[in-house]
A and B are shown apart, each in its own frame.
Chain A
Amino acid sequence: MTVGTPDNLASSTRGGVGQSPRRPDGTRKVTGQFAYSSDLWHDDMLWGVTLRSPHPHARIRSIDIGAALATSGVYAVLTHEDVPGIKYYGLEENDQPVLAVDTVRYQGEAVALVAADHPETARRAMHEIVVNYEVLDPLTDPVRAALDPEAPALHEHGNVVRHQPVRVGDVPSARSRADVVVTGEYEIGMQDQAFLGPESGLAVPGEDGGVDLYVATQWMHTDLREIAPCLGLPEEKVRMTLSGVGGAFGAREDLSMQVHAAMLAMHTGRPIKIVYNREESFYGHVHRHPAKMRYEHGATADGRIVYATARIVLDGGAYASSTTNVVGNAASLGVGPYIVPNVEIDAYGVYTNNPPCGAMRGFGAVQACYAYESQMDKLARELELHPLDVRRINAIHQGAAIATGQVVDTPAPMREMIDRLRDAPLPEAVDSGDVRNLPGGVSNTTHGEGVRRGIGYGVGLKNICFSEGFDDYSTARVRLEVVGGEPAVLVHTAAAEVGQGLVTLQGQIARTELGVERVSIAPADTQVGDAGSSSASRQSYMTGGAVKRACEAVRDRLFQLAAERFDVPADQLSLSGGKLVSEHSGVLVALADLLGDEAIEETREFHHRPTTGMDPVTGQGDTHTQLALCIHRAVVDVDVELGLLKVVDLTAVQDVGTVLNRVSLEGQIHGGTAQGLGLAVMEEIQLADGKLANPSFTDYLIPTILDMPPMRLDILERADPNAPYGLRGAGEPSTLSSTPAIAAAIRDATGLQIDRVPVRPHDIVHPVTG
Chain B
Amino acid sequence: MRLNLTINGAQHTADDVWPGESLLYVLRERLGLAGSKNACEQGECGSCTVYLDGVPACSCLVAAGQAAGHEVVTVEGIGGGEDELHPVQEAFVDAGAVQCGFCTPGLIVAAHNLVERTGEPSDEEIREELAGNLCRCTGYEKILDAVRLAASRKQEAGT
Give A residues with C-beta under 8 Å from B: 20, 22-23, 25-36, 38-39, 41, 118, 120, 193-198, 244-249, 275, 277-278, 434, 436-437, 442, 498-501, 663-664, 666-667, 670-675, 696-698, 702-706, 708, 710-711
Least CB distance, B159 to chain A, in whole angstroms? 18
Chain A, Cβ-Cβ closest to B20:
A120
Given A499-B100, A500-B99: A196 and B42 interface contact (C-beta under 8 Å): no
User: In the complex, which residues of chain B have a beta carbon less than 8 angstroms from the beta carbon of A704?
Assistant: 131-134, 140
> Are B94's CB and A436's CB within 8 A?
no
User: Is B139 in contact with A247, judged by CB distance below 8 angstroms?
Assistant: no
B18 touches A195 (CB 8 A): no
Task: State the main secondary structure of chain A at its contact with B.
Answer: loop
Which residues of A are found within 8 Å of B37, using beta-carbon distances?
Answer: 36, 38, 196-197, 246
Asked whether, in the complex, the Cβ of B128 is within 8 Å of the Cβ of A670, the reply is no
B69 interface residue (CB < 8 Å to A): no
Q: Quick one: which of A25, A38, A711 contacts B141, CB cutoff 8 A? A: A711
Which residue from chain B places its CB closest to the CB of A712 in the assembled complex? B141
Inter-subunit contact A666/B140 (CB<8 Å)? no
Residue of A31, A193, A434 touching B75 (CB-CB under 8 A): A31
A436 vs B129: C-alpha distance when bound (angstroms):
12
| B interface list, Cβ under 8 A from A | 18, 20, 28-29, 32-42, 44-45, 47, 74-76, 78-79, 81-82, 85, 89, 92-96, 98-105, 108, 124, 126-128, 130-144
> Known pairs A20-B96, A31-B75, A500-B99. 18 more at Cβ < 8 A?
A22-B94, A31-B89, A32-B34, A32-B74, A32-B105, A34-B101, A35-B34, A196-B39, A197-B39, A245-B100, A436-B124, A436-B127, A501-B99, A704-B134, A705-B126, A706-B127, A708-B140, A711-B139
Chain B residues positioned under 8 Å from A194 (CB to CB): 136
Q: Name the residue on A nearest B102 (C-beta).
A: A246
In the bound complex, residues from chain B placing their C-beta under 8 Å from that of A664 are: 96
Contact B143 A705 (CB under 8 A): yes
Residues of B within 8 A of A663 (CB): 95-96, 142
| B134 and A697 form a contact (CB under 8 A) | yes
Q: Which 8 residue pairs spanning A and B have beta carbons closest together?
A: A32-B35, A499-B100, A29-B101, A246-B102, A674-B139, A670-B139, A26-B93, A499-B99
Q: Are B98 and A36 in contact (CB under 8 A)?
A: no
CB pair B139–A671 under 8 Å, yes or no, is yes
Whole-angstrom distance between the Cβ of B24 and the nearest chain A Cβ? 11
B7: min CB distance to chain A, Å: 12
Q: Quick one: given A30-B85, A118-B18, are A705 and B100 in contact (CB under 8 Å)?
A: no
- Chain B hits for A198, CB < 8 A: 38-39
Q: Report the separation of the CA atoms of residues A118 and B17 in the bound assembly, to the nearest whole angstrom.
A: 11
Bound complex: CA A194 to CA B138 (Å): 13
B134 proximity list for chain A (CB < 8 A): 196, 697, 702, 704
Chain A residue with minimal CB distance to B90?
A30
Whether A710 contacts B93 in the complex (CB less than 8 A), given A196-B134, A436-B124, A696-B42, comes out as no
Report B17 CB to chain A, min CB distance, Å. Answer: 11
Contact of A33 among B40, B82, B124 (CB under 8 A): B82
Contacts of A29 on B, CB cut-off 8 Å? 93, 98, 101, 104
**For A248, what are the chain B residues with a Cβ–Cβ distance below 8 Å?**
100
| Neighbouring A residues of B35 by C-beta, 8 Å | 31-33
> How near does chain B come to A243, taking the closest CB pair, in angstroms?
12
| Residues of A contacting B124 in the complex (Cβ-Cβ under 8 angstroms) | 434, 436-437
Nearest chain A residue, comparing its CB with the CB of B126:
A705
Among A34, A249, A501, which residue has the most Cβ atoms of chain B within 10 A?
Answer: A34
Contact A705–B101 (Cβ < 8 Å): no
Shortest CB-to-CB span from B2 to chain A, Å, is 17
B108 contact from A20, A30, A670, Cβ within 8 A: A30
A249 to B137, CA, bound (A): 9
Of all chain A residues, the one with the shortest Cβ separation from B101 is A29
Q: List 5 A-B contacts (CB under 8 A).
A: A36-B34, A120-B18, A196-B135, A670-B142, A705-B135
By beta carbon, the residue of chain B nearest A34 is: B101
Q: Are B138 and A670 in contact (CB under 8 A)?
A: yes
Q: Which of A246, A442, A670 sits near B39, CB closer than 8 Å?
A: A246
Closest A residue to B89 by beta carbon equals A30
A161 to B40 Cα, complex, angstroms: 34
Distance of A710 Cα from B124 Cα, bound (Å): 11
Contact between B104 and A30, CB atoms less than 8 A apart: yes
Distance A27 CA – B105 CA, assembled complex (angstroms): 11
| Cross-chain contact B136 with A278 (CB below 8 angstroms) | no
Chain B proximity of A338: nearest CB distance (Å)? 28
A119 CA to B100 CA, complexed, in Å: 26
Chain B contacts for A30, CB-based, 8 A: 75, 85, 89, 92-93, 98, 101, 104-105, 108
Our pick among B94, B98, B128 for the contact of A442 (Cβ within 8 Å) is B128
Give Cα A278 to B41, complex, Å: 7
Check A436–B82 contact: CB distance below 8 A. Answer: no
Instruction: Please report the C-alpha to C-alpha distance between residue A666 and residue B135 in the assembled complex, in whole angstroms.
Output: 15
Q: Chain A residues near B45 (CB, 8 Å)?
A: 196, 697
The answer to whether A667 touches B102, judged by C-beta atoms less than 8 angstroms apart, is no
A23, A27, A31: the one contacting B76 at CB < 8 Å is A31
